[in-house]
Structures are given as structure tokens and as C-alpha cells.
């Protein structure tokens, strides 16, 4: 990690701590969550595009963490509609690869500097309404309005559709590269139609009853002309998607995956990060957050 990257990450985390309440032992974003052990069964449909071990034919174990975007355990969840779904695939050689997603298809800013200015504008004296109004009026964050319109009031984690936001490259055995974005699509049976918010306790109950909470891993294939390195621009809906596998929740984790760092740049052979500056900035920010809560993780 170079000095400039470290400085940028430090400023970002400082800005979060100055703007909102944080707790030393919690993550500086998506602080509160719930984690499960899971399995991922690949379909083999991704084999022509990648040699990534978990996207071939053999089932692999995984760890899944659902989270609220807030920095505090006392947040009003209804005012924080952005939720996260982070997945770690445990590979057979002892390594792992991550997919860190949220229930929004695009990001609010395309550069780390713009994101840091956004954090700094969220001072603790402003209300959520004031913050949202400021974002809508600022042309630099023009994507925010469309993101906000697509968000629905939170009912439960298991019925949400999650997106990687950033693009990656799949590499196949012939060293051909294909730009992609990933999605977790909930299976219809995940949502039992109950109008009450299930949230954490009901999700635990469903998993304990073996109600097969499952998600499809979809891979969206970019076409010529699609912008790869800007997370504020979603690709057209007509881009081909392949179903790469099924993730099934198995049991609640006693440790809640608190020591895990779901760095979205941790990939495996057959998957490469794009040059998206926000993607690489997130890696440094995650490391700074982990450092401040006393977590050290080896790859």
C-alpha cells in the first residue's frame, strides 16, 4: 500500500468517524450484520469464460454476511435502505475469494476524492433529510437520485437483489478476458409473502428450519462500448446474463464473521479486478477500518 493510498483511506475513515457515531470494535460501514455458513454449487455455465475454481463444477463452502449500511447499532433501519451481502468462497487450496455486494446497481460517485467530499458533507449536525436534499441538488452526485428511487422500504435481507456495482474481468484457459458484473438474485421461495419485516431473527428462524434460503449468482457480460471503470453507470438491461451457481444458507455462524474482511479486490486465478478507482480505494478503506477495530487477517 503506497503512502498516498494510505492517506486517502485514513481521510475517508476519519470523515466517517467525524460525520456519524461509530464504535471502536465495529466496522466503519455496514457495522451491524448477521453471518451464515453456506454452500455454493456452480452450474458450470461460467466455465467458457473463467478458470476460477469456485465457478467450475464442484461445490465449495462459503461464508455470507448480510448487513445494514449504517455505522451504528442504533441506526433507524428504515432511513438506511442500503443493505449489503458479502460472500467469501472458501477454496480447496486454503485461499479464498470475495464478492461484496449491495442492493443498489450503481454507486453514488466515481472517484475516491468525490466520495470523501461526500462523507465530509455528512456532518453529525445534519439530518438524513438534509443530507439527501444536498445530494440530489449536487450535480456531481447525479446518480444518487436514480439510486434512491429504486430503493424500497426494507422488509428482509433474503428477498433483496444484490449487485457487485464494480466490474471485473473473467479469464479463461485461453487467456481471453471478458468484462462482467456479478449479481445475487433471490429465489422466489425466499420471500414467504409475510408483510412484516423478518430481518435478522426471522432469517435465522428460516435457516434453522431448513427453508432453503438460496440465491442465484448471475454474471452480466459487458459488450463493446460498455464503460468498465465507472461504478456510477449501470450497463443496459439487455446485456446477456449467465447463471453461474446457487448459494444456499446452511447455519448461523457463532462468530458472526466479525474477524472477516470482505475486501472486494480479493480474487482468485481466473478473476481480475477492473481499473475502477473506487473498487481499489475500497480495499484500502477496508484495511484502515480493520486496523482501527483491531482485526488482522491473512490471505
* 241, containing H or E segment: strand 241-252
Euclidean distance between CA atoms 169 and 238, whole angstroms: 19
The β-bridge relationship of strands 162-163 and 168-171 is: unpaired
The per-residue pLDDT for range 59-87, each reduced to its tens digit, is 999 999 998 766 666 555 445 778 899 99
| 26, pLDDT greater than 90 | no
Tell me how far CA of residue 176 lies from CA of 29, 48, 242, 288, in angstroms: 36, 10, 17, 34
* All three cell numbers of 293: 477495530
Buried b / exposed e over 44-55, threshold 16 CB at 10 Å, is: eebbebbbbbbb
Confidence at residue 153, expressed as pLDDT on a 0 to 100 scale: 72
- CA–centroid distance for 153 within its chain: 19
The per-residue pLDDT for range 156-171, each reduced to its tens digit, is 889 999 999 999 999 9
Give the 3-state secondary structure percentages of the chain, helix then strand then coil, rounded to 5: 30, 25, 50
CB distance 225 to 235 below 8 Å:
no
The per-residue pLDDT for range 171-212, each reduced to its tens digit, is 999 999 999 999 999 998 887 765 454 577 888 888 988 878
* All three cell numbers of 179: 468484462
Euclidean distance between CA atoms 271 and 207, whole angstroms: 30
| 7, pLDDT greater than 60 | no
Euclidean distance between CA atoms 264 and 209, whole angstroms: 31
Q: Quickly count: other Cβ atoms within 10 Å of residue 43's Cβ.
A: 16
Structural domains of the chain, with CATH: 3-265+277-292 (2.40.180.10)
The per-residue pLDDT for range 219-262, each reduced to its tens digit, is 999 999 999 999 999 999 999 999 999 999 999 998 888 888 89
Euclidean distance between CA atoms 214 and 190, whole angstroms: 7
Amino acid at each position: 500500500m503506497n503512502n498516498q493510498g494510505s492517506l486517502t483511506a485514513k481521510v475517508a475513515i476519519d470523515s466517517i468517524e467525524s460525520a456519524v457515531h461509530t464504535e471502536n470494535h465495529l466496522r466503519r460501514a455496514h457495522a451491524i450484520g448477521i453471518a451464515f455458513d453456506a454452500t455454493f454449487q456452480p452450474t458450470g455455465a461460467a466455465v467458457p469464460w473463467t478458470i476460477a475454481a469456485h465457478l467450475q463444477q464442484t461445490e465449495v463452502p462459503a461464508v455470507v454476511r448480510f448487513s445494514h449500511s449504517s455505522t451504528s447499532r442504533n441506526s433507524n433501519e428504515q432511513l438506511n435502505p442500503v443493505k449489503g451481502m458479502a460472500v467469501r468462497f472458501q477454496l480447496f487450496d486454503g485461499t479464498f475469494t470475495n464478492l461484496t455486494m449491495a442492493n443498489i446497481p450503481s454507486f453514488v460517485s466515481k472517484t475516491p476524492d468525490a466520495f470523501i467530499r461526500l462523507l465530509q458533507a455528512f456532518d453529525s449536525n445534519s439530518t438524513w433529510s438534509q443530507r439527501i436534499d444536498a445530494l440530489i441538488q449536487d450535480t456531481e452526485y447525479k446518480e444518487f437520485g436514480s439510486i434512491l428511487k429504486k430503493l424500497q422500504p426494507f422488509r428482509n435481507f433474503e428477498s433483496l437483489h444484490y449487485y457487485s456495482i464494480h466490474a471485473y474481468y473473467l479469464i479463461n484457459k485461453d487467456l481471453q478476458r471478458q468484462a462482467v458484473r456479478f449479481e445475487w438474485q433471490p429465489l422466489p421461495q425466499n420471500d414467504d409473502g409475510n408483510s412484516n419485516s423478518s430481518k435478522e431473527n426471522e432469517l435465522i428462524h428460516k435457516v434453522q428450519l431448513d427453508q432453503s434460503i438460496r440465491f442465484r449468482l448471475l454474471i452480466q457480460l459487458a459488450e463493446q462500448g460498455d464503460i468498465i471503470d465507472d461504478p456510477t453507470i449501470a450497463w443496459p438491461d439487455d446485456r446477456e446474463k449467465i447463471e453461474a451457481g446457487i448459494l444456499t444458507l446452511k447455519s448461523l455462524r457463532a462468530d458472526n464473521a466479525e474477524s472477516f474482511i470482505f475486501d472486494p479486490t480479493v480474487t482468485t486465478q481466473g478473476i481480475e479486478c477492473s481499473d475502477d478507482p473506487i473498487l481499489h480505494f475500497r480495499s484500502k478503506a477496508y484495511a484502515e477500518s480493520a486496523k482501527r477495530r483491531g482485526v488482522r487477517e491473512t490471505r
